[in-house]
Amino acid sequence: MNVLFVIHTPKDPYTAVYKNYQQLLSFLEEHDHRAVILAPQDFLSLNRWHPRLFPLLYPFWVAQWLIRRGGQYDVASFHSYAGWVVNLLRRLVPTYWRLRTITAFHGLEPLYYCALKEGMERAGKPLRRRFRLIHGILMPWLIRLSCRRSDRIICVNREEAAYLAKNNWGQESKISLVPHGVPREYFIQREFAPEARRLLFVGQWLEIKGIRYLVEAFSKLAREVPKLELWCVGTLLEEERVLAHFPAEVQHKVIVRPRVGETEIPAVYRDADVFLFPSLFEGFGRVLLEAMATALPIVSTPVGAARDLLESGVNALIVSKRDSEALAKSVCRLVDDLTLRKRLGRQAQATAAEYETERVQRKLLSLYEEMLVTKLS
């Protein structure tokens, strides 16, 4: 079986989307299948255009690339809008007659747009008209078109699946919920410290990740509980720019590591005591599952995978979005309560075991094979 993955994000091993597809590609090759990942950087001529136009232009480049390869792929999985041209042409171009297509989401754009719009309005910075036109009107229309012409739609959380079905983006029978997985090496035997010292945030340093509320909460905590330190990992933003968000008197308690390699990150989780996930929106939030696998006690907002994986007081403490006070109070509960940290961490790890990477990959492989059987019948 030949599988093509078309993503609209860079081939950057530090980003969750590419990392996820790299692991899936390796799994398929281990099982005697062939897979290729295609991204915008594979088309140098796209660099002449503004990235804002990629939803319109990139899918045309992808369609031409596929036509030149004469139908050598059996299944093509398109990340969000990347396949709308191919899906539109499937009945017209002989190359596409035998191709089975998937529209896959790692965060449904209309839901992300609503979260971003709300956040910008709260900050008194409404979105520009051109951005609203492209991302609020045009992009949802193109993605809906692609979904309706795809053989399968894959999303990563129940909220997305409900949105797709409710808004008639695809028949319920075509919608598959396939969450991300977590590699086996993340499952460790945690040694819980008598007192929590190191708080951990893993993610890009973006407003949508709730960094404003993380800064407010830690600034309060650093004054009330001097022994605490905050590690900000995978920010993809330089240390000095991250530290500039914090008051000068607490900056020395903040450690920033903009990029961490895949082999290093399990140790980062292992050495932490509490994981903070203050995000305002997530498609899934793979870092949350990684923290769960390492038995870290978690304080999280109810977004993305958190709604599906976590139950407050059972395997995490859940706080409302944009509530830095509640975030700080929940951390304070965990600092000196070893029993609570152990219970939440171990239960989180037990939940994560259901999402071990190979389980998820086998589910996807079965889905691809099922599509091929349908194709040949």
Percent of the chain with pLDDT over 70: 99
- pLDDT tens digits for 256-293? 999 998 889 999 999 999 999 999 999 898 999 999 99
Average pLDDT over residues 76-99: 88
The amino acid occupying position 255 is I
The C-alpha angle with vertex 134 and arms to 132 and 140, in degrees rounded to 5, equals 100
Q: What are the structure tokens assigned to 371, written together?
A: 């599509």
Residue 333 has pLDDT above 90, yes or no: yes
pLDDT band of residue 377 (cuts 50, 70, 90) is: very low
Strand 274-277 versus strand 152-155 pairing type: unpaired
| 376: pLDDT strictly greater than 70 | no
Assess contact for 257 and 265: CB atoms under 8 A.
no
* Model confidence band, residue 40 (pLDDT cutoffs 50, 70, 90): very high
CATH 3.40.50.2000 location in the chain: 2-181+356-376, 184-355
How many C-alpha atoms does 32 have within 13 Å on its Cβ side?
1
Distances (CA, A) of 260 to 83, 149, 233, 265, 269: 31, 39, 7, 6, 12
Identify the pLDDT of residue 52.
Answer: 78
Q: Quickly tell me which residue has 């896959």 as its tokens.
A: 104
The burial of 213, by beta-carbon neighbours within 10 Å (0-12 exposed, 13-18 middle, 19 or more buried), is given as: buried
- Each residue of 337-355: pLDDT tens digit? 999 999 999 999 999 999 9
| 275 phi-psi bin (left φ>0, alpha ψ -120 to 50, beta other) | beta
Fold of 2-181+356-376: Rossmann fold (3.40.50)
Q: What is the DSSP letter of 136?
A: I
CATH for 184-355, options being 3.40.50.150, 3.40.50.1010, 3.30.420.40, 3.40.50.2000? 3.40.50.2000
pLDDT value of position 211: 96
Mean per-residue pLDDT for 62-67?
93
Tens-place pLDDT, residues 241-266: 999 999 999 999 999 999 998 889 99
Residue 328: pLDDT above 90? yes
The two tokens of residue 239 are 């240390």
Q: What is the pLDDT of residues 95-116, one digit of tens each?
A: 777 899 999 998 888 898 888 8
User: 375 pLDDT exceeds 70?
Assistant: no
Which amino acid does the sequence have at 176? S
- Model confidence pLDDT, tens digit, residues 168-195: 999 999 999 999 999 999 999 999 999 9
Of 63, 97, 89, nearest in space to 78 by CA? 63
> How far apart are alpha carbons 127 and 136 in whole angstroms?
10
